Amino acid sequence: MLDGKRILLIVGGGIAAYKCLELIRRLRERGASVTPVMTRAAEEFVTPLSLSALAGEAVHRDLFDLTKEAEMGHIQLSRVADLVVVAPATADLMAKMAAGLANDLASTLLMATDTPVMIVPAMNVRMWEHPATQRNLKVLHGDGITVVGPDSGDMACGEFGPGRMSDPMTILAAIEGALSEGPLKGRRIVITSGPTHEPIDPVRYIANRSSGAQGTAIAAALRDLGAEVVFVSGPADVARPTGVEVVNVETAREMRDAVLSALPADAGVFAAAVADWRVARESDKKIKKKAGALPVLEFAENPDILAEVSQMATGRPRLVVGFAAETDDVITNATAKRDRKGCDWIVANDVSPSTGIMGGLENAVVVISDTGAEEWPRMSKADVAKRLAQRIAQALTGR
């Protein structure tokens, strides 16, 4: 139920705007109040009258509406809500949000608000897949904004693919999730994420292609369920999640030390792509090129953080989740990895370049536990994170 919760609903200009009418009804049925805001473009798709009639409140449309400014200024309007929902979030609105523009009422409210923001993207598939939108999406994820959908399927424009706005019931579930007290309230969870850098000399290092996207999304999803998250990250591409404790590290050994000092915790999620080896003797001076003499690097094994935490005799987190990045025989290799490391679950994925998973926005995982292997369909890394966070909540709380 959403009794007494206040939603500021910003309706963008897209054909999917009509779905907001249904969304408003469902929100009000559950006891929420809805304050609608429309962009100019939204008025081409739904009328202010239908929104205000269903919401039972006036619709806000203009930044410089002096009557409304006198009643409730736009800054105040942006802050009275428990949650700001942008649906449909058009490519234009997402770009404005990512760039921090504030040139109309909707974008100004989004800049001025101090309450959590959820966006529900909807646009043509090409626009969704455009590098600019994907870039903006990454920025918005990094800013701690919750993204719901988009779904794949036939679109109003006649094309097929991702870009369809999620249906009202899915949005409703996401809103309920975002506003709930959170099943993980009071639980502490340590997450490793990103690659590690293993120095060769002061200017060179060994690294891998992990972007940190999946670990970051998991941190955000666990935070959204109320967990106290310690996020131990190597030098990742994506911005660190907000609302969590961030510990920045560079090498596997630093990551291990940071994890051990973050314990005790209720759960550990080891999503980092930790380098298995480091250079045995790091040179403290830049290695110079000498004619005819190629440098030879000798390696030393790095500590296996997942195995060490899984096998702790005392103080082991109740739930230890590892990841397995494989390029072949995913289930067989990951099952063996789970046994070898001693963790409770392994989230395995195929990171062959042809899958586009490493460094991409989507993931297709198999979750291996003592009950066997469960294949999840390919979905966004954010959705994998949400599903995994739900599972973790169930395992820790029985809810």
Which residues are the active-site residues? 157
Binding to ligand CTP (CB under 6 A): which residues in 307-346? Answer: 322-325, 337
Q: 3-state SS string over 137-191?
A: HHHHHHCCCEECCCEEEECCCCCEEEEECCCHHHHHHHHHHHHCCCCCCCCEEEE
Closest distance of CB 90 from ligand CTP, Å: 37
Asked if residue 141 lies in contact with residue 216, where contact means CB atoms within 8 angstroms, the answer is yes
Residues in the chain, total: 399
Q: Which residues pair with residue 153 across a beta bridge?
A: 161
- Residue closer to ligand CTP (CB basis): 189 or 252: 252
Binder among 98, 148, 306, 330 for ligand CTP (CB under 6 A): 306
- Residue closer to ligand CTP (CB basis): 74 or 337: 337
Upper half-sphere CA count for residue 344 (Cβ side, 13 Å): 15
Supply 10's token pair. Answer: 């910003």
- Residue closer to ligand CTP (CB basis): 333 or 397: 333
Site string for ligand CTP, 353-382 (x = CB under 6 A): ------------------------------
Closest distance of CB 365 from ligand CTP, Å: 12
Binder among 136, 233, 251, 302 for ligand CTP (CB under 6 A): 302
Asked if residue 355 lies in contact with residue 373, where contact means CB atoms within 8 angstroms, the answer is no
**Coil/strand/helix, residue 107:** helix
Site string for ligand CTP, 115-154 (x = CB under 6 A): ----------------------------------------
Q: How far apart are CA 81 and CA 117, in angstroms?
A: 10
Sign for the pseudo-dihedral over CA of 119, 122, 123, 126 = positive
Closest distance of CB 278 from ligand CTP, Å: 10
3-state helix, strand, coil in the chain (%, to 5): 35, 25, 40
Q: Quickly list DSSP for 324-359.
A: EEESS-HHHHHHHHHHHHT-SEEEEEE--GGG--TT
- Residue closer to ligand CTP (CB basis): 146 or 196: 196
Closest distance of CB 368 from ligand CTP, Å: 12
Binder among 117, 229, 305, 330 for ligand CTP (CB under 6 A): 305
Binding to ligand CTP (CB under 6 A): which residues in 260-279? Answer: 270, 272, 274, 276
**Residue keyed to tokens 């626009």:** 127
Closest distance of CB 311 from ligand CTP, Å: 12
Supply 390's token pair. Answer: 């739900």
Binder among 304, 344, 350, 383 for ligand CTP (CB under 6 A): 304
Distance of CA 352 to the CA centre of its chain: 23
| Geometric angle at alpha carbon 25, from 19 and 27, rounded to 5° | 100
Closest distance of CB 304 from ligand CTP, Å: 4
Q: What is the DSSP letter of 355?
A: G
- Residue closer to ligand CTP (CB basis): 15 or 252: 252
Q: How far apart are CA 41 and CA 62, in angstroms?
A: 12
- Residue closer to ligand CTP (CB basis): 157 or 300: 300
Distance of CA 394 to the CA centre of its chain: 19
Binding to ligand CTP (CB under 6 A): which residues in 148-207? Answer: 192
Binding to ligand CTP (CB under 6 A): which residues in 73-112? Answer: none
Closest distance of CB 333 from ligand CTP, Å: 7
Q: How far apart are CA 328 and CA 339, in angstroms?
A: 18
- Residue closer to ligand CTP (CB basis): 165 or 274: 274
Binding to ligand CTP (CB under 6 A): which residues in 10-49? Answer: none
- Residue closer to ligand CTP (CB basis): 75 or 307: 307
**Coil/strand/helix, residue 318:** coil
Binding to ligand CTP (CB under 6 A): which residues in 214-253? Answer: 252
**Coil/strand/helix, residue 89:** strand
Closest distance of CB 200 from ligand CTP, Å: 18
**How many chain residues are in contact with ligand CTP, going by CB under 6 A?**
15
Q: How far apart are CA 66 and CA 271, in angstroms?
A: 51
Using CB under 6 A as the criterion, which residues of the chain lie in contact with ligand CTP when the complex forms?
Answer: 192, 252, 270, 272, 274, 276, 302, 304-306, 322-325, 337
